[in-house]
């Protein structure tokens, strides 16, 4: 019988509830349990695919092509399980479904209400996961903070679910924050007490409280929280801010959370297999060799917008026993003639995915700089497209080459709309999304990195390389090292004669794992370590 763990958040948002849920997933998986994680997002959008990165951060893409919350990226990286579109539920999806049913007449003239119609649909989505998959534990994270108006139907649904699935088979974990008062030098528990009171007023009594804080939590404070919030002392788990997200499973495990959960839910109390995970963290901590990578994008002030890229670079650096230092560079800086000193100082340049015209010319400049200075370059989706535009303009001499995304009537649309994208009016969920196969050309940088002939990678794009230009590019030294099996779509391009200048139409960052760096990132970082920027001698002197 599957067990259900519901994670809620209190006091403030952005304290790492997603990472905490992901880490709980890892410590349970380490006990040999089959784990899945689902995120319930109370906002009204159907999915984050059409939301601005400023609002939402990165859009994570699952194998089956759903555009989801970035927390699913944490879940996949920590548990190493492939999640699917049912693992991210939003209020928008719930209402869409209920209203469509109402229009069809499914409710036979009944009045449609938040309770029970909306809450029933939420419950159906949760139980769909355990019906479709063979899981021992389903973790359900409720987005937002207790007290949010839009979160209420979700909290009511998870309150009812505990009764539906059985009290012994389920539990609530509440993640809160302990603010630090500088004047008196103490952490305060009152907001935690209030948020637990709020939860209780909705009929939910948490069994575990995880306290996030920027300072160490004393035993006295834990006792106080246990007493006021009516949880066991050993179920108050302090989680102090850490410099490395991947330490969180270890912190929770060492605080006894894994044992507490398994005991409480009547699961086997095996010893967790976390040796490899601990070694991985040690390796991350011991890596000293610096590798400086510039990420050239337009949301660089908001690192969450490039979450998976940032993590994939950390995984790849660890794989190479190096310590990554990211230089965030806004592409519009380059357009103003600034920031080239940053490009000069790094070991490698990444141009990540993106949409729209703003900042494009700066990204093209970054690609040119990388090509001309032989600096390792990794282009991700849009990053591959700008690499091709740059090559067309400055190697082939097609001065106004562009993508038709940015200049509809350009004379040389080297990047153009995919045929099945013509005439699409609805922007939500209509890109080429999810996993597609890619065949690699032997002897290329890509084939060497992957050590495979065929790979499956995740996509999210509307535009593609224009095949009318393939021969001209190849004649000038561009190698199309990855193609779709029917050879119609360019999936990977690399610049011949350059130590590493490669772009992929897909997003390799989504498949990178902390203990299994993605081959393209691993190879990119390896090349970056071999490149020595001006003023940086190979022996470090
Ligand atoms: N805007 C480009 C396209 O739609 C690239 C998309 C991306 O980088 N994810 O094809």
The total number of structural domains in the chain stands at 2
Q: Are residues 60 and 154 in the same domain?
A: yes
Could you tell me if residue 540 is inside a domain?
A: no
Q: Are residues 229 and 324 in the same domain?
A: no
Tell me the CATH number at 509: 3.40.50.880
For residue range 374-423, what is the model confidence (pLDDT) as tens digits? Answer: 999 999 999 999 999 999 999 999 999 999 999 999 999 999 987 777 77
Coil, strand, or helix at residue 25?
A: helix
Rounded to whole angstroms, the Cα distance separating 7 from 143 reads 9
Q: Are residues 333 and 195 in the same domain?
A: no
Ligand 1 pocket test, pick from 48, 357, 381 with the greatest ligand atom count within 8 Å of Cβ, gives 381
Ligand 1 pocket test, pick from 460, 464, 489, 507 with the greatest ligand atom count within 8 Å of Cβ, gives 460
Catalytic site positions: 381, 507, 509
DSSP string, 38-65: EEEE-SSSS-GGGS-HHHH-PPEE-TT-
Q: Are residues 291 and 187 in the same domain?
A: no
Q: Are residues 339 and 241 in the same domain?
A: no
Residue identifier of the C-alpha nearest atom 9 of ligand 1: 353
Q: Are residues 187 and 266 in the same domain?
A: yes
Residue identifier of the C-alpha nearest atom 7 of ligand 1: 353
Q: Please tell me the distance between residue 442's alpha carbon and the centre of ligand 1 in angstroms.
A: 27
Q: Please tell me the distance between residue 325's alpha carbon and the centre of ligand 1 in angstroms.
A: 26
Q: Please tell me the distance between residue 297's alpha carbon and the centre of ligand 1 in angstroms.
A: 13
Q: Are residues 155 and 258 in the same domain?
A: yes
The first and second tokens of residue 257, run together, are: 């959370």
Residues within a 6 A CB radius of ligand 1: 353-355, 381-382, 405, 460-463
Q: Please tell me the distance between residue 460's alpha carbon and the centre of ligand 1 in angstroms.
A: 7
Could you tell me if residue 277 is inside a domain?
A: no
Could you tell me if residue 198 is inside a domain?
A: yes
Q: What is the mean pLDDT of the chain?
A: 95
For residue range 140-193, what is the model confidence (pLDDT) as tens digits? Answer: 999 999 999 999 999 999 999 999 999 999 999 999 999 999 999 899 999 999
Q: How far is CA 252 from CA 136, 226, 326, 495, in A?
A: 20, 17, 28, 46
Q: Please tell me the distance between residue 212's alpha carbon and the centre of ligand 1 in angstroms.
A: 36
Rounded to whole angstroms, the Cα distance separating 462 from 476 reads 26
Could you tell me if residue 44 is inside a domain?
A: yes
**Closest residue by Cα to residue 525 from 286, 324, 372, 307:** 324
Tell me the CATH number at 249: 3.40.50.300
The mean pLDDT value for 480-507 works out to 97
Q: Are residues 290 and 266 in the same domain?
A: no
Residue identifier of the C-alpha nearest atom 5 of ligand 1: 382
Q: Please tell me the distance between residue 463's alpha carbon and the centre of ligand 1 in angstroms.
A: 6
Could you tell me if residue 18 is inside a domain?
A: yes
Could you tell me if residue 278 is inside a domain?
A: no
Could you tell me if residue 379 is inside a domain?
A: yes
Residue identifier of the C-alpha nearest atom 8 of ligand 1: 353
Residue identifier of the C-alpha nearest atom 1 of ligand 1: 355
For residue range 216-225, what is the model confidence (pLDDT) as tens digits? Answer: 999 999 999 9
- Has residue 507 got a pLDDT over 90? yes
Cβ contacts of residue 65 below 8 Å, gap of 6+? 85, 433, 434, 435
Could you tell me if residue 381 is inside a domain?
A: yes
Residue 507 CA, closest ligand 1 atom number: 9
Cβ contacts of residue 438 below 8 Å, gap of 6+? 454, 455, 456, 457, 482, 483, 484, 491, 492, 506
Rounded to whole angstroms, the Cα distance separating 168 from 171 reads 8
pLDDT of residue 540: 47
Residue identifier of the C-alpha nearest atom 3 of ligand 1: 461
Helices (H), 217-352: 219-229, 248-254, 257-264, 275-286, 307-319, 331-335, 340-345
- Has residue 541 got a pLDDT over 50? no
Q: Are residues 375 and 397 in the same domain?
A: yes
Q: Are residues 327 and 456 in the same domain?
A: yes
Q: Are residues 36 and 170 in the same domain?
A: yes
| Cis-peptide, bond into residue 116, ω within 30° of zero | yes
Q: Are residues 237 and 299 in the same domain?
A: no
Structural domain including 439 reads 284-530
For residue range 206-251, what is the model confidence (pLDDT) as tens digits? Answer: 999 999 999 999 999 999 999 999 999 999 999 999 999 999 999 9
Query: 132: how many CB neighbours lie within 10 A of its CB?
Result: 11
């Amino acid at each position: 019988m599957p067990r259900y763990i519901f994670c809620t958040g209190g006091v403030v948002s952005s304290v790492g509830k997603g990472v905490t849920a992901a880490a709980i997933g890892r410590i349970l998986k380490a006990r040999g349990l089959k784990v899945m994680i689902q995120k319930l997002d109370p906002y009204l959008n159907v999915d984050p695919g059409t939301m601005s990165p400023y609002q939402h951060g990165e859009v994570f893409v699952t194998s089956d092509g759903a555009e989801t919350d970035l927390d699913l990226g944490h879940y996949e990286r920590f548990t190493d399980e492939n999640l699917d579109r049912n693992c991210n539920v939003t209020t928008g999806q719930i209402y869409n479904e209920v209203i469509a049913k109402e229009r069809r007449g499914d409710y036979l003239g009944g009045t449609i209400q938040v309770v029970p119609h909306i809450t029933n649909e939420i419950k159906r989505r949760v139980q769909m996961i355990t019906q479709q998959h063979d899981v021992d534990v389903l973790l359900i994270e409720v987005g937002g903070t207790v007290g949010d108006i839009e979160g209420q139907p979700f909290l009511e649904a998870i309150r009812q679910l505990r009764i539906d699935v059985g009290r012994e088979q389920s539990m609530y974990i509440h993640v809160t924050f302990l603010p630090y008062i500088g004047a008196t030098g103490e952490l305060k528990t009152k907001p935690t007490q209030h948020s637990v009171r709020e939860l209780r007023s909705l009929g939910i009594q948490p069994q575990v409280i995880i306290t996030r804080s920027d300072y160490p939590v004393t035993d006295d404070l834990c006792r106080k929280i246990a007493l006021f919030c009516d949880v066991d002392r050993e179920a108050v788990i302090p989680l102090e801010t850490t410099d490395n997200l991947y330490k969180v499973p270890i912190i929770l495990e060492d605080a006894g959370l894994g044992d507490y959960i398994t005991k409480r839910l009547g699961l086997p109390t095996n010893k967790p297999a976390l040796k490899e995970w601990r070694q991985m963290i040690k390796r991350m901590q011991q890596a000293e060799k610096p590798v400086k990578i510039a990420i050239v994008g337009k949301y660089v002030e908001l690192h969450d917008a490039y979450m998976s890229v940032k993590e994939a670079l950390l995984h790849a650096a660890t794989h190479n026993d190096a310590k990554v230092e990211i230089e965030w560079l806004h592409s519009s800086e380059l357009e103003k003639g600034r920031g080239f000193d940053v490009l000069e100082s790094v070991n490698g340049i990444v141009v990540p995915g993106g949409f729209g015209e703003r900042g494009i010319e700066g990204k093209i400049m970054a690609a040119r700089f990388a090509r001309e200075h032989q600096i390792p370059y990794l282009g991700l989706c849009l990053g591959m497209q700008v690499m091709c535009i740059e090559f067309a303009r400055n190697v082939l001499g097609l001065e106004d080459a562009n993508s038709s995304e940015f200049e509809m009537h350009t004379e040389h649309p080297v990047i153009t709309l995919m045929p099945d994208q013509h005439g699409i009016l609805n922007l939500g969920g209509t890109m080429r999304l999810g996993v597609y196969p890619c065949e690699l050309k032997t002897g290329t940088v890509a084939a060497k990195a992957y050590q495979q002939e065929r790979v499956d990678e995740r996509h999210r794009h509307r535009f593609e390389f224009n095949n009318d230009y393939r021969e001209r590019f190849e004649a000038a030294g561009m190698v199309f090292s990855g193609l779709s099996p029917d050879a119609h779509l360019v999936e990977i391009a690399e610049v011949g004669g350059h130590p590493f200048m490669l772009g992929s139409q897909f997003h390799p960052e989504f498949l990178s794992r902390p203990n299994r760096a993605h081959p393209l990132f691993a190879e990119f970082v390896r090349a970056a370590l071999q490149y020595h920027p001006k003023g940086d001698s190979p022996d470090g002197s």
